[in-house]
Structure 1
Amino acid sequence: MLPSNPMAALFGKSPFKPLPQHMRIVMECVEEVLPLFQALIDDDQEQLEERKNHIFVKEREADTIRNEICEHLPRSTRLAMGRQDLLKLLSAQDAIANTAQDIAGLLVERRMEMLPGMAEPLMRLVARCIDTCRQAHAIIEKLDELLHETTFRSREASQVDEMLVELRNMESDTDLMGMALARALFAEEDRLKPVSVIFWYQLIQWVGNLADYAEKVGDRLRLLISR
Structure 2
Amino acid sequence: MAGNPLTNLFGKSPIAPIQQHMTSTRDCAQLLTQFMDAAVAGDWDQAKTHQKAIAKLENEADKLKKQVRLQLPKSLFLPVPRSDLLDLVGVQDHIANLAKDIAGLMLGRQMEIPAKLVELMGEYLKLAIDTVNQAHRAIDELDELLESGFRGREVDFVESLINELDKLEHENDKAQVKIRAVLFKLEAELPPVNVMFLYKIIDWVGELANEAQKVGSRLQILLAR
**Structure 2 length normalisation: TM-score?**
0.92
- Identity fraction in percent: 40
Q: How does 1:2-21 map to 2 (within 5 A)?
A: 12-21=11-20
Contact 1:10-1:17 within 8 A present in 2 as well = no
CA distance in 2, matches of 1:106, 1:224: 35
Contact 1:11-1:17 within 8 A present in 2 as well = no
Residues 10 and 183 from structure 1, CA distance in 2 versus in 1: closer, same or farther, beyond 3 angstroms? farther
Q: How does 1:179-198 map to 2 (within 5 A)?
A: 179-198=177-196
Q: Which amino acid aligns with 2:201?
A: L
Residues 164 and 94 from structure 1, CA distance in 2 versus in 1: closer, same or farther, beyond 3 angstroms? same
Deviation per residue, 1:169-201 (Å, 9 max, x gap): 000000110111011111100011211111000
1:169 aligns with 2:203: no
Q: Which residue number corresponds to residue 128 of structure 1?
A: 127
Partner SS for 1:31: helix
Q: How does 1:37-116 map to 2 (within 5 A)?
A: 37-79=36-78, 82-116=81-115
Q: Which residue number corresponds to residue 153 of structure 1?
A: 151
Q: Which amino acid aligns with 1:55?
A: I
Q: Which amino acid aligns with 2:189?
A: R
CA distance in 1, matches of 2:9, 2:112: 47
Q: Which residue number corresponds to residue 221 of structure 1?
A: 219
Residues 155 and 81 from structure 1, CA distance in 2 versus in 1: closer, same or farther, beyond 3 angstroms? closer
CA distance in 1, matches of 2:114, 2:24: 32
CA distance in 2, matches of 1:133, 1:10: 32
Residues 123 and 10 from structure 1, CA distance in 2 versus in 1: closer, same or farther, beyond 3 angstroms? farther
Q: Which residue number corresponds to residue 143 of structure 2?
A: 144
User: Which residues of structure 1 form unaligned runs of 5+?
Assistant: 1-7
- The worse-fitting range, judged by mean Cα deviation, of 48-57 and 13-22 is 13-22
Q: Which amino acid aligns with 1:165?
A: N
Q: How does 1:29-40 map to 2 (within 5 A)?
A: 29-40=28-39
Deviation at 1:13, TM superposition (A): 4.0
Deviation at 1:79, TM superposition (A): 3.8
CA RMSD of superposed structures (Å)? 1.8
Q: Which amino acid aligns with 1:212?
A: N
Partner SS for 2:155: helix
Q: Which residue number corresponds to residue 26 of structure 1?
A: 25
Q: Which residue number corresponds to residue 119 of structure 1?
A: 118
Contact 1:20-1:141 within 8 A present in 2 as well = yes
Deviation per residue, 1:33-90 (Å, 9 max, x gap): 0111111111111111000000000000000110111122211233497011001100
Q: Which residue number corresponds to residue 4 of structure 1?
A: none
Deviation per residue, 1:64-122 (Å, 9 max, x gap): 11011112221123349701100110001100000000001001100212212210010
Deviation at 1:29, TM superposition (A): 1.2
Equivalent residues, number: 219
Residues 27 and 45 from structure 1, CA distance in 2 versus in 1: closer, same or farther, beyond 3 angstroms? same
Runs of 4+ in 1 over 6 A off after TM superposition: none
Deviation at 1:208, TM superposition (A): 0.8
CA distance in 1, matches of 2:202, 2:212: 16
Q: Which amino acid aligns with 1:217?
A: V
Deviation at 1:214, TM superposition (A): 0.4
